[in-house]
Structure 1
Amino acid sequence: MNKGSKILLSSIAAVTLSTTFLGTSGLTFNPTQETVVYAKAKQATLIPGSYKVGSELKPGRYTITSSDGSSGNISSMPKKSLHGDTINEILGSETDMSQVPSVTATLAKGDKVKIEGLTSATFTPVKKRNKKNNTALATGSWIVGKDIKKGKYTVTPVDGQSGNFIVIPKSTFGDTTNEVLGGDTDMSQVPKVNVKLHNGDKVEVAGMTQVNFAKR
């Protein structure tokens, strides 16, 4: 006798499990198949205010920009503080004032987002991730193996810019990096840093438009 079971789990992701079992002779066994369908981010424009992801803003991965080029603050607080992406940036075009044109992050249901000083902020869904990238990452939160290849790199900021560069290892025993990249050594900035990135590590770039990676 054949039995089929289908289970639907829905939150940020919808998981469909379908299983066919061998019961009588003459039937073939089909291995368990698992299909994961992630909730898709949806384009949104939000004016200044505080928002909870899941209502005015769908969960998902976004690149966030100022809608009209004005400058102001964008911040987020993840519901799961140890795992979620945190944003704290000044969006704008004056890079010498630590403003950045965009920031990319994954926002989960329950995360809080705050917009201040901007006419409005545009949230554009990220449709593709470049796992073969090995040259640069812009402002935001990134995963090694999804947004950049694993390997050994020397990391430098864009000329004339400074900001935070952080690596949070996936492994409990991995190496953590937390440096302020820049040219002002009197302010404890460093011009470059060597890192070894492993798949699953999280890379955060803040306060500068991008960092450059050179293989070593």
Structure 2
Amino acid sequence: MADKENKTPFYKRWWFWLIIAIILLFALFGGGDDEDPVEEENATEEIQDDGTDTTDETADNKQGTNDNAGEEAEAEEPATRDNSNAEETTLNAGRFIVGEDIPVGRYVITGDGMGNLFVYDENGLPEVNEILDNTGDTGVTSITTNLEAGQEIEISGLNSVVFKPAETSLSNTLSAGSWEVGLDIEPGRYNVTAPSGMGNFFIYNEMGLPSTNEILDASGELGVKQLTITLEEGQEIQISGLNEVDFESR
């Protein structure tokens, strides 16, 4: 009997198949556990890759936003006038044509003594009608206005009138002359007063129609002492007979 068992092939013995079964069970269950960390590692790498890409895209978007902000800041530089054609000119009493006797431009006009200054448009209508008085007692000490081709200047009672090219800057104090909202004063809501004297105060819209027409009087006897207004970009302000008008932001 012992010789028969020794001659039986090993693959027909019970312990051989037990070993095979154990190996198969280990392969089925133990191998699956080995693969899970690899899959988790790959998933982690994918998440990290996605996160890195997202960060790069966010940084690029922020950089693009900053660049656009810089371009907008450059585009929002304060507006100004081209007054390069204006030249300082002195005229005596008489009549003169803009574009012939004096270049087109924006000027600050002052006189030696006291007299009248008129500027007429091409239809002969007066756009400027002021008494220039270097003392400021009877008239205004200066007028700031635009002179356009074809207009006629009339000077009376003055030996000399000086026309100096005007510089454009924002201010809350304006004198006699014409001014544009956005170039000479910021848009906004203001209380308007004149510290002394009496004169006319007009505001024209972009269509050239008057939206405000008041007499400002520091004493309040013949006009208003204070006016509350809202100034909008592009509107024109005209001041006549007053050396100074103050705009206090509300």
Identify the residue that residue 165 of structure 2 maps to in structure 1: 125
5 Å matches for 1:32-181?
A: 40-66=85-111, 69-79=112-122, 86-97=127-138, 99-126=139-166, 128-131=167-170, 133=171, 135-159=172-196, 161-170=197-206, 176-181=211-216
After TM superposition, give the deviation of residue 215 of structure 1 in Å: 0.7
2:226 pairs with 1:192: yes
Identify the residue that residue 44 of structure 2 maps to in structure 1: none
Aligned mates of 1:37, 1:93 — CA distance in 2: 28
After TM superposition, give the deviation of residue 38 of structure 1 in Å: 6.4
Identity between Structure 1 and Structure 2 (%): 33
Q: CA RMSD in A?
A: 2.4
After TM superposition, give the deviation of residue 87 of structure 1 in Å: 1.2
The answer as to whether partners of 2:190 and 2:247 remain within 8 angstroms in 1 is: yes
Aligned mates of 2:124, 2:192 — CA distance in 1: 27
With normalisation by structure 2, the TM-score equals 0.63
Aligned mates of 2:192, 2:180 — CA distance in 1: 16
Q: Give the total of aligned pairs.
A: 170
Choose 1 or 2 for highest CA Rg: 2
Structure with more contact order per residue of length (Cα contacts < 8 Å, sep ≥ 6) = 1
The answer as to whether partners of 1:95 and 1:208 remain within 8 angstroms in 2 is: no
When residues 80 and 107 of structure 1 are mapped into structure 2, their CA distance, relative to the original with a 3 A threshold, is farther
The answer as to whether partners of 2:181 and 2:237 remain within 8 angstroms in 1 is: yes
Which residues of structure 2 form unaligned runs of 5+?
Answer: 1-80
Aligned mates of 1:185, 1:158 — CA distance in 2: 11
Aligned mates of 1:92, 1:38 — CA distance in 2: 26
> What letter is aligned with 2:156?
E
Which residues of structure 1 form unaligned runs of 5+?
Answer: 1-35
Residues 25-56 of structure 1 deviation map (CA, whole Å, 9 limit, x = unaligned): xxxxxxxxxxx976611111111011110111
